[in-house]
Chain A
Amino acid sequence: MELLIFGSLTDIIGTDKLVLENPLDTELLKASLLKKYPSLEQTNYFLALNKIMVQEKKPLQEGDVVALMPAFSGG
């Protein structure tokens, strides 16, 4: 699966795109990201799976694209 990283989250993850081994679902993806990048804990962001917002656990399949979208506040 592919991970697209938006806004200030690129500072934490160090890139705007990652290709990952497929986790089983979005909750496991979140947990593994949190383990690897602990400062995500203090960040306000949501996940979108194939351009649809994730509000509850969704299974992940090969070829899925997940976006990590933080809150933007500048203007």
Chain B
Amino acid sequence: MILPGFGLAAQEKLDRAKVLIVGMGALGCPALQYLVGAGVGQIGIVDPDTISESNLHRQLLYGQADIRKSKVAIAADAMRLQNPTIQITTYPIALERKNALELMEGYDLVIDATDNFQAKYILNDAAAILKIPLIYGAVSRYQGQVSVFHFPDKEGICFSYRDLFPIEPSDTIAGSCESLGVIGVLPGIIGCLQAAEAIKIITGIGRSLAGRLYTHDFLETSNYEIAILKNKNVQPLTRDAFLIAENQITEDWEEIDVDEISVEAFLDLQKNSQVYVLDVREREEYPPIDFSDAQIPMSELLQHIDRLPNKDIYIICHQGIRSVYAAQLIQANKGLKTYSIKGGITAYFNKLS
């Protein structure tokens, strides 16, 4: 290859590189094809799904004859024909918190070609812990996005997906291509951009998208680039906290013993030290209180549990019933010490008057 800045040394770096692609759908197919074409030596591909007819317009590695077959198996077969020297490892499994670190460890970089928020947050958090560059891609209707996380920008700062969106939303808010529809070429463009970022990072040429969120608009053929800034409220996740979050739906959390604290004891404590008070009433409930540090309604608590700081949490509600459940839920899912304020706000105001 005779390309200035891209000689034998670059080709050797590609040959030695190990890349993991998570998701073998509309982003993963083109990313894989171009990384194989570029000569990346070892590639892992992760996807538990089988091929369905509705995939074919945007997942061009697969054909009619492949329907109901494993995506990773068919993709690996096609790529081995294209370049038999490349080692392809197939993982026909779903990415989960409990397997993410093990899957990703040992790879030089990871491509996020997934189609749901849960997977995107798992990949982001695991990449942060392992300090592996993550090439993020996603599409929504006629627009697609690419960025690079956990890889230093030109000032040496590493950004996280959580700098953009600190809290994992529910998947009902945004949808996948399967449910909303997409023009196949758009994820094709985005998947190719992800492969391009991977090649740049591996070979060290050019400037990566680290620190920049790049949004491509299919209808306008235009792009919009946003400089990412650090979100000061986002704390790095420890390995333990990452794995605890795995048990988000713990069935027996209602069995957990909760320490209740009386209003008197709570008032004493408040006088002498800084305590973190969480109000779990719904937003429309009265009266408002001025001594809470946060209000997260019980109905949204699991979803927003990552907003809680890593300290003891004193929980208050109207009567002191919901706050017991909230205390159990936080202990089970975030491993924090929690106290329920006995009698709730009713007892609190009775005591004051």
Residues of A within 8 A of B (CB): 4, 6-8, 42-44, 46, 48, 51-55, 67, 69-75
Q: Give Cα A54–Cα B164 distance, bound, in whole angstroms.
A: 10
Tell yes or no: B97 within 8 A of A by CB. no
Which of B137, B167, B229 contacts A44, CB < 8 Å? B167
- Shortest beta-carbon distance, B192 to chain A, in Å? 13
Tell yes or no: B175 within 8 A of A by CB. yes
Q: Which residues of B contact A67 (CB under 8 A)?
A: 224, 226
Tell yes or no: B187 within 8 A of A by CB. yes
Q: Can you pick out 28 interface pairs between chain A and chain B where the beta carbons lie within 8 Å of each other?
A: A8-B141, A8-B173, A8-B174, A43-B173, A44-B165, A44-B174, A46-B164, A48-B227, A51-B225, A51-B226, A55-B230, A67-B224, A71-B164, A71-B174, A72-B139, A72-B140, A72-B143, A72-B144, A72-B145, A73-B120, A73-B138, A73-B140, A73-B175, A74-B115, A74-B138, A75-B23, A75-B28, A75-B139
What is the predominant secondary structure among interface residues of chain A facing chain B? loop
Q: Which residues of A contact B169 (CB under 8 A)?
A: 44, 71
State how many residues of chain B have any CB contact under 8 Å with chain A: 45
Which of B23, B113, B141, B231 contacts A55, CB < 8 Å? B231
Chain B residue nearest to A10 (CB atoms) is B141
Also in contact, A75 and B25, with CB within 8 A (given A6-B224, A43-B173, A69-B226):
yes
Chain B residue nearest to A48 (CB atoms) is B226
Check B173 against A7 for contact (C-beta < 8 Å).
Answer: no
Check A72 against B230 for contact (C-beta < 8 Å).
Answer: no
Q: Give Cα A52–Cα B164 distance, bound, in whole angstroms.
A: 12
Chain B residue nearest to A55 (CB atoms) is B229
Q: Give Cα A75–Cα B113 distance, bound, in whole angstroms.
A: 6
Q: Which residues of B contact A55 (CB under 8 A)?
A: 229-232
Check B114 against A75 for contact (C-beta < 8 Å).
Answer: yes
Q: Give Cα A69–Cα B224 distance, bound, in whole angstroms.
A: 11
Q: Give Cα A74–Cα B115 distance, bound, in whole angstroms.
A: 4
Q: Give Cα A54–Cα B174 distance, bound, in whole angstroms.
A: 22
Check A52 against B26 for contact (C-beta < 8 Å).
Answer: no
Check B173 against A53 for contact (C-beta < 8 Å).
Answer: no
Check B138 against A72 for contact (C-beta < 8 Å).
Answer: yes
Tell yes or no: B176 within 8 A of A by CB. yes
Chain A residue nearest to B28 (CB atoms) is A75
Chain A residue nearest to B167 (CB atoms) is A44
Check B173 against A44 for contact (C-beta < 8 Å).
Answer: yes
Check A69 against B213 for contact (C-beta < 8 Å).
Answer: yes
Q: Which of B210-231 contact A (CB under 8 A)?
A: 213, 215, 224-231
Q: Which residues of B contact A42 (CB under 8 A)?
A: 173
Q: Give Cα A55–Cα B225 distance, bound, in whole angstroms.
A: 16
- Shortest beta-carbon distance, A29 to chain B, in Å? 16
Tell yes or no: B27 within 8 A of A by CB. yes
Q: Which of B99-145 contact A (CB under 8 A)?
A: 113-117, 120, 137-141, 143-145
Check B182 against A74 for contact (C-beta < 8 Å).
Answer: yes
A72-B145, A73-B120, A75-B114 known; 9 other A-B pairs, CB under 8 Å?
A7-B140, A44-B173, A52-B229, A53-B228, A55-B229, A71-B117, A72-B174, A74-B182, A75-B137
